[in-house]
């Protein structure tokens, strides 16, 4: 799947679930490219902004869309790496939304 196909197809599916790609198109395309790189490297789409342990079972909570997306978008209007955002955040003037890491640190080791 190419970046543009991902943007169109996945975007449509996720919009139906209430999750929108950020309006920052350049950032979104970079993140999508990174997801495709991780798919190539690990065989699954690990979040571009988290360190994979390269074992699917240990990384399953951070396979995009990660399990933290829902509470993060709920609380901050954005997922950890700013790929998915709420409609409200896209409509606001906020350019960059910092989202603290919700994932328990011991899941990294």
Q: Which residues bind another protein (CB under 8 A)?
A: 27, 30-31, 34, 37-38, 48-54, 81-82, 96, 98-101, 103, 105, 108-109
Name the minimum Å distance from CB 43 to another protein.
Answer: 15
Closer of 16 and 98 to another protein (Cβ): 98
Tell me how far, at minimum, the Cβ of 105 lies from another protein, in Å. Answer: 5
User: Which residue number, 81 or 85, has a Cβ lying nearer to another protein?
Assistant: 81
User: For another protein, which is the closer residue by CB, 8 or 101?
Assistant: 101
Q: Rank residues 10 and 28 by Cβ distance to another protein and give the closer one.
A: 28
* Residue corresponding to tokens 């080791």: 109
Instruction: Give the chain as a 3 state SS string.
Output: CCHHHHHHHHHHHHHHCCCEECCCHHHHHHHHHHHHHHHHHHCCCECCCCCCCCCHHHHHHHECCCCCHHHHHHHHCECCCCCEECHHHHHCCCCCCCCCCCCCHHHHC
**Cα atoms in the Cβ-side hemisphere of radius 13 Å centred on 10:** 18
Minimum distance between the CB of residue 2 and another protein, rounded to whole angstroms? 17
Minimum separation from the CB atom of position 44 to another protein (A) = 13
């Amino acid at each position: 799947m190419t970046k543009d196909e991902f943007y169109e197809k996945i975007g449509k599916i996720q919009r139906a679930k209430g999750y929108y790609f950020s309006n920052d198109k350049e950032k979104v395309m970079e993140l999508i490219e990174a997801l495709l790189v991780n798919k190539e490297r690990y065989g699954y789409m690990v979040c571009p902004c988290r360190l994979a342990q390269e074992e699917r079972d240990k990384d399953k909570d951070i396979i995009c869309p990660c399990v933290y997306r829902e509470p993060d978008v709920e609380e901050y209007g954005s997922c950890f790496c700013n790929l998915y955002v709420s409609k409200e955040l896209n409509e606001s003037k906020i350019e960059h939304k910092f989202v603290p890491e919700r994932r328990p640190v011991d899941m990294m080791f």
